[in-house]
Structure 1
Amino acid sequence: MDTKLIVSASPHLRSDESTQDLMANVIVALTPCVVASAIIFGLRALLVVAVSVIACVAFEWLYCKLLKKQSPIGDLSAVVTGIILALNVPVNMPLGELVIGALVSIIIVKQLFGGIGMNFANPALVGRIVLFISFATEMNAWVYPDAAVDQLSKATPLQVANPGKLNLLDLFMGIHGGVLGETCALAIVLGFVYLVVTKTISAAIPVAYVGSMFVFYMIATGSVHESLAAVLSGGLLFGAVFMATDYVTSPFTLKGKLIYGLALGAVTFAIRYWGSYTEGVSFALLFMNLWVPFINDWTRQTPYGYVKPAKKAAKEGAGK
């Protein structure tokens, strides 16, 4: 007898993609940023990335080995964490301190909370914040392309007194100081396009995040140039594409993603415009990561055919 209808436990929609496939797509999307950082800051950028990746993979393997757990390094998530962490530090970051960031990311934020899918915040994000707080001097020791020194007087774009004088093309191409991954907007955009085309991420969060930031700056400054400079400066684009879209720490409904992106824009703008920090992406992401469970509850889709208890009681009363 042919069975026309098969009823099974959810999820009913399945995909052949594995965690390894998704992480591989993210690695491919991060490759333009790695290449751009090497071109802009020199070959030491590749050494920083390599050390970060090796440290993250080694810490994950060692932790699982000591606790006699199955090692998940084959899913490539530790590799992604290592690349993102490396792209969040300056090229001259001491390698020993970078390894501390990897330890925090993998052991404390990821494994101690149960491994992949259980972390409360993006591991690389927390590792970056710990490095920023613990080694502020090293994290702010910028290296500059020769072409950018005269224009920016050895300051990152967010530290320039008059953003209206910034060259937008230089910002887009990465001719300025900053951490490895945030400088070249072109490389980030290429990665974003790849992730969206391969359906690895939804465009909702990056578009809502970056778009809201542009609107907030337009309202505050009234200048399109300054608003574009704010969008192209700092870690906004990199954070919006590669960190805000983390599967575990971002909402799973479209409405939730849009709310999340708009809230990220509001918090980042508030920190940058009124706060004492010129950058606000990392702290905004950490703050909003903590709100994701609530956003998921507030925006949870209503099951088909569901009737609220009050309406159900009213209908039953009317039927009598």
Structure 2
Amino acid sequence: MRKILFAIALLSLVGIGSAAAAPTPPQNTVLPAVSGSTRQGETLTADPGTWSGTQPITFAFQWRRCDSNGSNCANIIGATSKTYTLASVDVGNTLRVRVRASNTAGSRVAVSAPTAVVSARPPKSISLESSQSIVVYGGSAMLTGSVSNGQAGEPVQIVEHLLPAVRGLQVRDVATVHTTADGSFSLAVQPLVHTLYKATTGETSSNAVSLSVRPRLRVSHTGLHRFLLRAIAARSFRGRYAVVQRWSSPRQHWIGIRRVFFRSAFAGISPTIVSRALFHARLGGVKLRVILPRSQTAPGYLTGLSNSVTA
């Protein structure tokens, strides 16, 4: 009899242990939540909330677009990841995220509270500036700028307006660059003449940046008291004059002594033109240089200034 009672008691204990080990389905204890800025272009992140039940518990997400009061919600097709990037269609609406928690015992669903109403992205703006305002022909300047309220990798087109036109070309696209993570961009440019630069993305344009250009002047010896002056630019200066200057030690400044005229010009690598002038100067070891005045370089160029040599 004792053996029978012991067996019954043992079976009862086994039954109790089996019932205690049975898996339980997920049960939500803290609702899912959504974090992030509710502005067009920003990314929202879902927190599944807190769940009890037999582990492991897996979560599936479904983002839902609702009206401004958080009602009349509908699933957003394809929005089933933990994050969601707000689009233009979301502006004026709220969003909720529905979380389905699943384990071996079943699944349950919980829905977050609605977000704040999604606002439109502020208008884009572009700034542009240059590392310098004047370059010598053939030299370069660095354009830098930034796109506010933009995104990384956004294309920015750099456009130049040549003043005056060079060989019939006045406005042209220079290059397309892309913004970095902070919205900045840069491009090295080599203006041919006085040039205005603008940056554009979509329908938004930057301020205009002005880059002025000086012709490149070089003076070299060609013989005893003989010199060659070359003016390098995107235009010819044939028939125009430059002024030879000598250095005055007592006065500590340059003094103009004569004019020299450019008698010839030849084409370099397009669109470069090299204008030439030959002249004599006998100054007894005094330094000289040549200046090409603005009256002779306009339009398109500032005053040009050569290197100095000993005459």
Query: Structure with the greater relative contact order (CA < 8 A, sep ≥ 6): 1 or 2?
Result: 1
**Which is strand-richer, 1 or 2?**
2
TM-score range, shorter chain: under 0.3
**Which is helix-richer, 1 or 2?**
1
> What TM-score do you get using the length of structure 1 for normalisation?
0.20
